[in-house]
Amino acid sequence: MLSRNNLQQQQETELEIGVLASLVAGLDNRDDNVLGFISNLLERLDRNPGFGEEYHGAAGRALAAINDVVTRNGDFGRAYKEISEAVDSIYRYLACSEGAGCETPRQKQSESVTKAVKEEISQETSLNSESTLFDAANRELCDFISETNEYLDLAEAALLELERSPGSREHIDEVFRCFHNIKGISGFLGLKDFQELAHAAEDLMDRIRSGQAELSGTRAQVTFDVVDVLRSMLMSVREAMSGGEYRAPAALAEIMSRLRDPGESSQSCACSCLQLSAPRTDECAPVKKADEVLRVATARLDALIDSVGELVIANGMVQQEAVSQGKENPRFAANVQRLGKIVREIQEQAMGLRMVSLEATFRKLARIARDLSTKSAVPVNFTFEGEETELDRSVVDEMQSPLVHMIRNAIDHGIEPPEERARLGKPESGNVHIAASHQGGNVVIRVMDDGRGLNKEKILEKAVDRGLVKPGAELTDREIYELIFEPGFSTADQVTEISGRGVGMDVVKRSVDRLRGRLEISVKPGRGTTFSIWLPLTMAVIDGMVITIANQHMVIPSIAIQEFLRPHPDQIRTVNEKGEMVLIRGDLLPMFRLHRLFNLSGANEEPSKALILVITDGDRRCALLVDDVVGQQQVVVKPIGTMFDRVPAVSGASIMGDGTVALILDTAGLLRMAREVRME
């Protein structure tokens, strides 16, 4: 074993091994400079008597091969193999007990990973007891986790592409590269499990790209499974970092043997596989290289954005003052105006910092759709567009689950089995398409399927069954479809493992409400269903309509306002002496007096002298009575504190130009209250 008398020497050696491993990891093709370094390191390590015969032999072969390449233009591939072998033998030796040349059992490897993680952390602390170095070790592991995750994402995306266009050299190379890199960075940190699995997967990809094997059927499934197993191993590392134990997942041993099994033929898998779809028009576009990026801690970014928010408010106040001051001092007015323009630019840029594209989300959905279609034996063609559309990070995060729910519903309930589809004259594969686009200051995400379409009768039946609707009640089509948003509602005949537990659509609605968005349903019975989700671009700033009630300002999100009007006295009707309604172009809408809700006195109580705002959340509508509308403006949203969570109709607060606080009204809450009044 390594001589432990000299701690420094041991540390140096370990450093050299690490450098060697990472050099090898980055070695894509012949680079004489790098090869020079590598042979230098191999020689130095060879001088260490502790590494044993195996390494000595392997190092010798590697050095010879390198020499061959550099001086006689020999086969680089062979040299690479020898070098990898040499590095592997070092690791094998390190993980083993004194020169026994043993085969490391799985458990010992898990132990060695845990040990590696703990050593990584303790090494830093023993060298220097400052806690900042402890953080550095943690950070290294965090970096490893996020880097590996990135490679796994890239590999998965390439694998999905390969299913559409098998044999695409570009994508096979991409997958190879990803596993190769994972092998490298895990080797550098001594995480053996990762290294071995990545190595085996890399080997498989190598066989595929050299034509020795085909990526199809079970082999394709194995590659996806490798991604999954690696992901679960990363979770285990996270646990080890917070003081738990690293445990290799059970699937690891199984998948290692699957990867090694040479008897894999191209037998098609037992279940029906994902149908290959016609290539998209931009199929031939080259795989995008990652843009130049910089890692910034989110906390710093959030702090910056908070400050920008305050800058915007302060600027608003100055602008307001400048209106009166500027009259006497035109130079001042001009300066303030220029300042305002710059502040607006900064605001836009700062908001842009938090924007992420939907690409990662859509790719994840593609993977889920593929897995679901395989599992439920329903062939589904999942496509997406507009993935480059950007949204605020928190909006994208909040929408992950709802979108997954909707895809699940579409595949599990919407798409008919192939025989039924054939009978109906539909293409054998179901189609699920998700599209994102910008529309008038918002982002619209549409989830469409060409399946059965929501079943009106079944929904109504279930709703009556659950007591949500009185039997014999008359509801419009829209209102019937809306019923699926009620908690606990589900029309699945059997609760499948995948969905049908009745928690889907109401969660979606709640998320969309929380984001101050809008959710619409459109159904073509027998032909399919389309869900449209309108989302604001950012949570920090909304486009709002400022209204006044009894000399107090309030803000209603513009996205919710359909129209406003001054009613004629005979447009106002009362129902059962309880609720008021307003007649607008033949439709009776429930009317809500905001001043009553907020207990404000001094408001304009006469509707025909006040203003009515018609608000909607996509499906439901109601009318609000307010004093006046001040105007439309960008409003910075301030959290109002958990203390006010119970308040039904308020979702936040904003600071007006004069420094006062204006409450931001929550349309979903208002509509809910209006509906309760009506349902009585």
Q: Which residues bind another protein (CB under 8 A)?
A: 309-310, 313-314, 552, 597-600, 638-650, 653, 655, 659-663
The smaller minimum CB distance to another protein, of residues 145 and 630, is found at 630
Q: Which of 21, 15, 18, 20 is nearest to 184 (CA)?
A: 21
Strands 579-584 and 587-593, how do they pair? antiparallel
The smaller minimum CB distance to another protein, of residues 332 and 644, is found at 644
CB of 485 vs another protein, minimal distance in Å: 24
> What's the token pair of residue 447?
């989830």
What residues contact 54, with CB distance under 8 A and at least 6 apart? 89, 92, 93, 101
Helix, coil or strand: residue 87: helix
Q: Which of 72, 67, 23, 18 is nearest to 45 (CA)?
A: 18
Say if residues 199 and 221 touch (Cβ distance below 8 Å). no
Q: Determine the straight-line distance between the first and last CA of the chain, rounded to whole angstroms.
A: 82
Query: Helix/strand/coil (H, E, C) string of 540-596?
Result: CEEEEEEEEECCEEEEEEHHHEEEEECCCHHHEEEECCCEEEEEECCEEEEEEEHHH
CB of 636 vs another protein, minimal distance in Å: 9
CB of 661 vs another protein, minimal distance in Å: 4
The smaller minimum CB distance to another protein, of residues 525 and 659, is found at 659
The smaller minimum CB distance to another protein, of residues 505 and 662, is found at 662
The smaller minimum CB distance to another protein, of residues 104 and 320, is found at 320
DSSP-derived secondary structure for 22-70: HHHHT--S--HHHHHHHHHHHHHHHT-GGGHHHHHHHHHHHHHHHHHHH
CB of 657 vs another protein, minimal distance in Å: 11
CB of 638 vs another protein, minimal distance in Å: 4
Q: Which helix (H) or strand (E) holds 251?
A: helix 250-260
CB of 639 vs another protein, minimal distance in Å: 7
The smaller minimum CB distance to another protein, of residues 283 and 310, is found at 310
The smaller minimum CB distance to another protein, of residues 448 and 662, is found at 662
The smaller minimum CB distance to another protein, of residues 153 and 666, is found at 666
β-pair partners for 306: none
> What's the token pair of residue 652?
């936040």
The smaller minimum CB distance to another protein, of residues 103 and 645, is found at 645
Q: Which helix (H) or strand (E) holds 396?
A: helix 393-409
β-pair partners for 435: 385, 446
DSSP-derived secondary structure for 642-655: GGGTT-TTEEEEEE
> What's the token pair of residue 493?
């005949």
Dihedral angle over CA of 230, 233, 235, 239, nearest 10:
-160
CB of 312 vs another protein, minimal distance in Å: 9
Q: Which of 312, 432, 305 is nearest to 365 (CA)?
A: 432
CB of 598 vs another protein, minimal distance in Å: 4
CB of 540 vs another protein, minimal distance in Å: 12
- For residues 412 and 428, what is the distance between their CA atoms, to the nearest angstrom? 16
> What's the token pair of residue 330?
């035109």
> What's the token pair of residue 1?
């074993």
CB of 541 vs another protein, minimal distance in Å: 14
Say if residues 615 and 670 touch (Cβ distance below 8 Å). yes
- For residues 541 and 637, what is the distance between their CA atoms, to the nearest angstrom? 6
Q: How far is CA 517 from CA 440, 534, 543, in A?
A: 13, 5, 12
> What's the token pair of residue 331?
């130079």
Q: Which of 357, 237, 230 is nearest to 293 (CA)?
A: 357
CB of 592 vs another protein, minimal distance in Å: 13
The smaller minimum CB distance to another protein, of residues 459 and 594, is found at 594
Q: Which of 310, 313, 314, 319 is nearest to 338 (CA)?
A: 319
CB of 310 vs another protein, minimal distance in Å: 4
CB of 557 vs another protein, minimal distance in Å: 17
The smaller minimum CB distance to another protein, of residues 282 and 645, is found at 645
The smaller minimum CB distance to another protein, of residues 572 and 594, is found at 594
> What's the token pair of residue 347?
């605001």
CB of 302 vs another protein, minimal distance in Å: 14
Q: Which of 161, 173, 164 is nearest to 210 (CA)?
A: 173
The smaller minimum CB distance to another protein, of residues 177 and 593, is found at 593
The smaller minimum CB distance to another protein, of residues 402 and 544, is found at 544
The smaller minimum CB distance to another protein, of residues 402 and 652, is found at 652
CB of 645 vs another protein, minimal distance in Å: 6
The smaller minimum CB distance to another protein, of residues 17 and 594, is found at 594
CB of 398 vs another protein, minimal distance in Å: 22
What is the residue type of 70?
V
- For residues 549 and 371, what is the distance between their CA atoms, to the nearest angstrom? 53
CB of 517 vs another protein, minimal distance in Å: 22
CA 210 to chain centre: 35
Q: Which of 610, 632, 614, 631 is nearest to 623 (CA)?
A: 614
Say if residues 553 and 660 touch (Cβ distance below 8 Å). yes
The smaller minimum CB distance to another protein, of residues 561 and 655, is found at 655
DSSP-derived secondary structure for 223-250: HHHHHHHHHHHHHHHHHHHTT------H
